[in-house]
Structure 1
Amino acid sequence: MELPAVNLKVILLVHWLLTTWGCIVFSGSYAWSNFTVLALGVWAVAQRDSIDAIGMFLGGLVATIFLDIIYISIFYSSFAITDTGRFSAGMAIFSLLLKPFSCCLIYHMHRERGGELPRRPDFFGPSQEHSAYQTIDTPDSPATPFASPEDKGQAAPRGY
């Protein structure tokens, strides 16, 4: 199944609008968690080539799915008495329902930027193969740019 091409800015705008409307009655941790994740989304927009930015945004959205379920289920009955409370709760629930689809789109963007999920069972361990990297203590490594010629065993040039 081919996912539609949706701009990351559109996803941010929709979730910002729904979060703002959800914060009419839901405040505190709901607002902090969602606006923090939206700030990660702004970082992902600003740095188009960053795998870390889009990965953090994706991880944050997944985390707020669970946090929103808990927060809305605890506080829904105390806020859904008035029309404003029902509207705000409805927008928070709509945002929650939209987040899995947004996660799919953002995961697709993450893959386009070259990111991938770790294949190892140690999820929080190093996720890249480092065997092709040059080690620091090899003889091919360049000398420090601030070393004096005496440190290198060479004669100092004139005027030094």
Structure 2
Amino acid sequence: MELPAVNLKVILLVHWLLTTWGSIVFGGAYSWANFTILALGVWAVAQRDSIDAISMFLGGLLATILLDIIHISIFYPRDTITATVHFSAGMAILSLLLKPFSCFLVHHMYRERGGELRFHSDFLGPSQERSAYQTIDSTTEGPAEPFAGLEARGPDTRGY
């Protein structure tokens, strides 16, 4: 499937604008969480080859999906509904609705930078081939005790 060519800067700009408008009503923790994640996005833009930057931005976007749901559901103003409250809440909700799509696009960018799916399990796909690894089985040759046989060599006379 061919993804649309969306620049990371566009994703940041859209979420920055929606977060700014959403912060009119939902300040405090909502603003801190979202603007912190946008700062990680700026880091991902600044370091184009960094897998850490893009993975932290992706993880932060995923975390703010849950945080936004909790924050909006708890702090939605129910008593004073003005046009400003409607607009601000609508922008916060729109930002929340766009975040899964943004996560999808950022994950694609993460894979382009060389990131891999880190959760390998039998139900997620084939496991890594391990036949070339050296075994650490205790039945192979060698002493059972880790330092057995060292006292037979005598003192170290190399001079350091």
TM-score bracket for the superposition, by shorter chain length: 0.7 to 0.9
Q: In 2, are the aligned partners of 1:79 and 1:89 still within 8 Å (CA)?
A: no
Residue of structure 1 in register with 2:40 after alignment: 40
Once the two structures are overlaid, the 10-residue window that deviates more, 78-87 or 3-12, is: 78-87
Q: Deviations over 1:89-109 (max 9, x none)?
A: 000000000000000000000
TM alignment of 1:1-160, pairs within 5 A: 1-78=1-78, 81-120=81-120
Q: How many residues in Structure 1 have an aligned counterpart in Structure 2? A: 126
Deviates more, 1:80-89 or 1:6-15: 80-89
SS at match of 2:109: helix
Aligned-partner Cα distance in 1 for 2:116–2:28: 33
CA distance in 2, matches of 1:26, 1:43: 25
Residue identity opposite 1:32 in structure 2: W
Residue 77 of structure 1: SS of its match in structure 2?
coil
- Give the SS at the match of 1:103: helix
Q: Contact 1:80 / 1:89 at 8 angstroms: preserved in 2?
A: no
**Larger-gyration structure (1/2):** 2
Q: TM-score, normalised by structure 1?
A: 0.73
C-alpha separation between the residues in 1 aligned to 2:22 and 2:115? 32
SS of residue in 2 equivalent to 1:92: helix
Structure 2 residue identity aligned to 1:108:
H
Deviation at 1:80, TM superposition (A): 6.2
Give the unaligned 5+ runs of structure 1.
Answer: 122-130, 132-152, 154-160
* CA apart distance, 1:12: 0.2
User: Within 2, Cα distance between the matches of 1:79 and 1:104?
Assistant: 36
Structure 2, gaps ≥5 residues long: 122-131, 133-158
